[in-house]
C-alpha cells in the first residue's frame, strides 16, 4: 500500500477526465458551451444537447478540433421522451455516461402581476422539471455503473428573492434541494450530485443588460471581486466536480460569485 506522500505524487491525475463520457444540456451557447469545452479540455468525450441543432453542432465540431469525440443532440429537457432519447443516444454511441451537467435554463424578470401562468410554467418546467428528468434518466445508467457525477447549474438567486422574479429564483431553489435529495439517495452507489451557483456572468443573453453602465456598477458594488463572471470562470470548478478529485463532495451548492455571497452588500465603513 502506498504511503500518503506517495499518493500525493499522483494528485494531478485526480483531475484528469481521460476515458470519461459527459453530457451537457443547454450546451449550444453561453455557460453550457464553456462547460462543454472545459470537460473536453480535461480529456472527456462530450455529448452536447440543446434545442437548436445548429448551435450544438457548432460546439460539437469545436470539441472534435480539441481532439475529443462529441455528439450533438437536439433535445428539449422539458420533454420526457426527448430526455430518454438523449441519454439513450449517449450510451449507444459511447457505451457509458460518467458525467451529466444540467445546464439548460431560462429566465424572465418583470412585474409579478404581469407574469402569465404559461411563462411561469415554462421557466419552472425548463429549470426544475428539466433537471429532475435528466438526472433521473442519467442516474439509471450510473447506478448500473456504480459510479457517476451529476452537476446541476443553480444560481445565487436560488437562495434569495428579487422583485419581478416569481419563477427563476423559485426554480433554482428547487434545483438546490433536488441536488441534496439526489445526493442523499445516490451517494451509497458511488454517484456524486452537486450544484454550482454562479452570479451574473457574461453571455450573449446577459450582455445587453450588463452593458447598461448604471446596472453594472451597482452589481460590482455587491461583488468583492468588483466584476461579474466570465464563462471560463466555470472551467476549474466544473472539472473538479466531474473528476475523481471530488469523490467525497456530495450535496454541495458551491457559489461562483467573486465573494458576493460572503458580503452583505453594504459599502465598506469609511
Residues 6+ apart with CB under 8 A from 209: 215
Closest to 257 in 3D by CA, of 163, 158, 112: 158
Q: To 10 degrees, what angle do helices 130-145 and 80-94 make?
A: 30
Active site residue 122: no
Residues 6+ apart with CB under 8 A from 17: 39, 42, 43, 44, 99, 239, 242, 243
Torsions phi, psi for 160 (to 5 deg): -155, 155
The x, y and z cell numbers of residue 218, run together, are 451597482
CA distances 44 to 6, 31, 61, 63, 215, Å, are 26, 17, 15, 10, 38
Report the distance separating Cα 255 and Cα 204, nearest Å.
Answer: 22
Q: How many Cβ atoms are within 10 Å of 155's Cβ, its own excluded?
A: 26
Catalytic residue among 37, 122, 168, 216: 168
Any idea which residues carry the catalytic annotation? 168
Amino acid at each position: 500500500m502506498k504511503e500518503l506522500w506517495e499518493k500525493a505524487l499522483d494528485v494531478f491525475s485526480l483531475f484528469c477526465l481521460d476515458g470519461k463520457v459527459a453530457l451537457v444540456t443547454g450546451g449550444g451557447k453561453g455557460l453550457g458551451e464553456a462547460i462543454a469545452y472545459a470537460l473536453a479540455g480535461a480529456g472527456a468525450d462530450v455529448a452536447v444537447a440543446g434545442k437548436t441543432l445548429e448551435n450544438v453542432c457548432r460546439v460539437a465540431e469545436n470539441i472534435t478540433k480539441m481532439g475529443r469525440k462529441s455528439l450533438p443532440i437536439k433535445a428539449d429537457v422539458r420533454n420526457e421522451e426527448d430526455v430518454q432519447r438523449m441519454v439513450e443516444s449517449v450510451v449507444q454511441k459511447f457505451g457509458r455516461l460518467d458525467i451529466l451537467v444540467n445546464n439548460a435554463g431560462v429566465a424572465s424578470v418583470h412585474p409579478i402581476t404581469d407574469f402569465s401562468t404559461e411563462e411561469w410554467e415554462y421557466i419552472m418546467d425548463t429549470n426544475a422539471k428539466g433537471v429532475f428528468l435528466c438526472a433521473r434518466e442519467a442516474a439509471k445508467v450510473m447506478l448500473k455503473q456504480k459510479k457517476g457525477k451529476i452537476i446541476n447549474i443553480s444560481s445565487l438567486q436560488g437562495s434569495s428573492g428579487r422583485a419581478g422574479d416569481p419563477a427563476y429564483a423559485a426554480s433554482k431553489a428547487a434545483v438546490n434541494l433536488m441536488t441534496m435529495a439526489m445526493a442523499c439517495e445516490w451517494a451509497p452507489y458511488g454517484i456524486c450530485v452537486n450544484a454550482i451557483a454562479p452570479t451574473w456572468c457574461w453571455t450573449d443573453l446577459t450582455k445587453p443588460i450588463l452593458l447598461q453602465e448604471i446596472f453594472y456598477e451597482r452589481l460590482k458594488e455587491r461583488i468583492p471581486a468588483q466584476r461579474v463572471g466570465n464563462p471560463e470562470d466555470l472551467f476549474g470548478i466544473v472539472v473538479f466536480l466531474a473528476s475523481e478529485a471530488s469523490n467525497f463532495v456530495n450535496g454541495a451548492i458551491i457559489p461562483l460569485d467573486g465573494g458576493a455571497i460572503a458580503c452583505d452588500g453594504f459599502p465598506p465603513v469609511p
